[in-house]
Amino acid sequence: MYVYEDKPETYLDKNGWTQKSPMSDEKCILMCLKNCTKVDGLDKKQVERLVNEWKVISDNTPAPPLPEDSVAYDGHN
How confident is the model over 2-59, as pLDDT tens digits?
566 667 778 888 888 888 888 899 999 998 999 888 888 999 999 999 999 999 999 9
Instruction: Give which of 74, 22, 17, 27 is closest to 55, Cα–Cα.
Output: 27
Total domains in the fold of the chain: 1
Q: In this structure, is residue 58 part of a structural domain?
A: yes
Q: In this structure, is residue 54 part of a structural domain?
A: yes
Span of 52-56, 58-62, 65-69 with lowest mean pLDDT: 65-69
Q: In this structure, is residue 50 part of a structural domain?
A: yes
Q: In this structure, is residue 62 part of a structural domain?
A: yes
This prediction's pTM: 0.70
Q: In this structure, is residue 45 part of a structural domain?
A: yes
Give the rounded distance of the alpha carbon of 62 from its chain centre.
12
Q: In this structure, is residue 11 part of a structural domain?
A: no
What is the extent of the structural domain holding 35? 23-72
> What is the C-alpha to C-alpha distance for residues 58 and 30, in angstroms, rounded to an integer?
7
